[in-house]
Structure formats: structure tokens, C-alpha cells
Amino acid sequence: MKIFTPSVKLLMLGAVLAVSASTGAVASANCCNPGSKIYYDEQGNQVGYQMIGCGDDNLYGRATSNYRWTNGCVA
């Protein structure tokens, strides 16, 4: 029995996609590069921060509409 090479490649691709789909929820929780939002008040003083993708997404301090996004974790 001769197995046609493109069929094997397609089968492998299907297996990889099935595994990645089954772990999609876990992967999205640990997705991408971590970053931080640093919040400032009207005078430019830092009043809070939130680290996204750093293992702790809690907001510390106060959130305002004046913020700066930075790559990486601040703490």
C-alpha cells in the first residue's frame, strides 16, 4: 500500500490543528507578550497600574482615561 505524501502532510496538519483547538482556552490565557497599563491623573501623577499577561491582571490603584501602555511587567 503506497501512501501519497500530500495526504500524510494533510493528516499531520489536521492533527496539529485539532490539538491546538483543544488547548485554545489555555493558550489564549497565556497569550502574547505581557504589558502594563500605567494610569495617571490630570496633573500627570501615577495613580494606578495593571499588568496584562504577567500572571496577575488585577488593577492596583485607580484607573483613569489617561494611561500609557508599556511592554513588559512593571513589578
Note the pLDDT of residue 33.
81
Contact 31, 55 (CB under 8 A): no
- Mean pLDDT to the nearest integer, 9-38: 65
Note the pLDDT of residue 24.
47
Q: How confident is the model at residue 69 (pLDDT cuts 50, 70, 90)?
A: very high
- Mean pLDDT to the nearest integer, 42-67: 93
Give residue limits of the domains in the chain.
1-31, 32-75
Q: How confident is the model at residue 3 (pLDDT cuts 50, 70, 90)?
A: low
Note the pLDDT of residue 27.
43
Note the pLDDT of residue 20.
57
Closest CA to 39 of 23, 59, 63: 63
